[in-house]
């Protein structure tokens, strides 16, 4: 089974990692009760993804002596943009995000399949509506335009509240069909992509996943590993896409076991993929 990414998480201190021979660091910054804010830096310049709270970002920047040059937003919920105004007033970063009436601070709007380069990072935009209609994700894989080596040993995805470790976001503004289609896009990314989601929901998500697929041995193993990690107060994200494909029921709407349980719950045969996903998501909403 692909391994869970083991990284320390104190909910007070930041923790991060960097690729070998790479100038870039990724720091996971806990906020609120279960959020993760993501800080990328090259030792001097930094960008932050979804700064719902400004103070933990300020603390990390000052501790590392960094200048915040960019903010990337995935969607408009307060726990993802709540710190933007404070960070603008302090650092004057460029704000990059979706076209959204709810995020007026965005100075550079980006759309599906667009690529842009900042800090030498080549970033691809993936529109993933469902949780919200304005939701986007950011994928970093390719070398930068000046043919530098790839920034990280593995591709990285910052997906906000669309794909979680072991789960997916609630469908608040979109439809189940939109959410499934969005997740289908993410399924096509390289299997070794590291999924940087915005919440420590993994243990609760897996409690549902095992109800959907109680005989999935990779999932059984993951449940045990995550239980041990959380007992030791270790973070369970980022996780690899390969692990999600094997154990996350919301990416497994085309798996025979998931189809069977969805059809049993709906008492209907030959469900389409959107209907399978919808049945599982409705179940999770009331789990």
Residue whose tokens read 């497994």: 252
Number of C-alpha atoms within 13 angstroms, CB side, residue 144? Answer: 12
What are the residue ranges in the chain where pLDDT is below 50? 1-2, 7-14, 19-20
The question of whether 134 is a catalytic residue gets the answer no
β-pair partners for 94: 70
Active-site residue (options: 76, 135, 196, 199)? 199
- The one catalytic residue in 9, 50, 80, 135 is 80
Is 196 known to be catalytic? Answer: no
In a domain, 2, yes or no: no
Which is the catalytic residue, given 9, 50, 53, 77? Answer: 77
Provide the domain count of the chain.
1
Helices 84-91 and 54-64 pack at an angle, to 10 degrees, of: 40
Q: Is 80 a catalytic residue?
A: yes
135 is catalytic: no
77 is catalytic: yes
What's the CA gap between 197 and 206, in Å, rounded? 15
What the block records as the tokens of 43 is 């030792």
Q: Which entry of 9, 75, 76, 134 is annotated as an active-site residue?
A: 75
Range of the domain at 68: 7-285
Tell me if residue 199 is catalytic.
yes
Task: Examine residue 172 and state whether it is found in any structural domain, yes or no.
Answer: yes
Torsion over CA of 79, 137, 116 and 76, rounded to 10 degrees? -30
Backbone angles phi, psi at 277, to 5 degrees: -60, -45
Which member of 41, 50, 131, 134 is catalytic?
131
* Structural domain includes residue 1: no
Q: Which residue has the tokens 């960019």?
A: 70
For residue 257, give the H/E element and its range: helix 256-266
Q: How far is CA 174 from CA 129, 131, 181, 278, in A?
A: 6, 6, 11, 12
Catalytic residue among 79, 134, 135, 196: 79
Pairing mode of beta strands 67-72, 45-49: parallel
79 is catalytic: yes
Nearest-10 crossing angle of helices 202-212, 217-231: 160
Q: In whole angstroms, what is the distance from residue 212 CA to residue 195 CA?
A: 22
| Rounded (10°) CA dihedral 283, 168, 214, 238 | -160
Q: How is residue 71 annotated by DSSP? A: E
- Model pLDDT for residues 228-249, shown as the tens digit of each residue: 999 999 999 999 999 999 999 9
CATH code of the domain covering residue 215: 3.60.15.10
The whole-number pLDDT of residue 8 equals 39
């Amino acid at each position: 089974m692909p391994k869970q990414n083991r990284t320390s998480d104190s909910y007070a201190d930041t923790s991060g990692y960097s690729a070998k021979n790479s100038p870039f660091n990724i720091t996971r910054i806990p906020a609120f009760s279960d959020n993760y804010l993501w800080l990328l830096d090259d030792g001097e310049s930094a960008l932050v993804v979804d700064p719902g709270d400004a103070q933990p970002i300020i603390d990390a920047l000052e501790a590392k002596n960094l200048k915040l040059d960019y903010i990337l937003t995935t969607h408009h919920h307060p726990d993802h943009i709540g710190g933007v105004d404070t960070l603008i007033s302090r650092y004057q970063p460029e704000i990059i995000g979706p076209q959204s009436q709810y995020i007026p601070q965005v100075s550079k709007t980006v759309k599906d399949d667009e690529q842009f380069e900042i800090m030498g990072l080549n970033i691809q935009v993936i529109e993933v509506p469902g949780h919200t209609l304005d939701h986007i994700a950011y994928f970093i894989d390719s070398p930068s335009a000046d043919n530098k080596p790839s920034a990280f040993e593995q591709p990285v995805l910052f997906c906000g509240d669309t794909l979680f470790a072991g789960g997916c976001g609630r469908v608040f503004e979109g439809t189940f069909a939109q959410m499934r289609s969005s997740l289908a896009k993410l399924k096509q990314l390289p299997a070794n992509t590291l999924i940087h989601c915005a919440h420590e929901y993994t243990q609760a998500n897996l409690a549902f996943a095992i109800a959907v697929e109680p005989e999935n041995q990779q999932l059984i193993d993951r449940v045990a590993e995550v239980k041990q990690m959380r007992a030791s107060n270790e973070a369970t994200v980022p996780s690899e896409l390969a692990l999600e494909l094997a154990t996350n029921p919301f990416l497994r709407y085309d798996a025979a076991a998931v189809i069977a349980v969805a059809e049993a719950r709906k008492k209907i045969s030959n469900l389409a993929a959107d209907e399978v996903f919808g049945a599982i998501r409705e179940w999770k909403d009331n789990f």
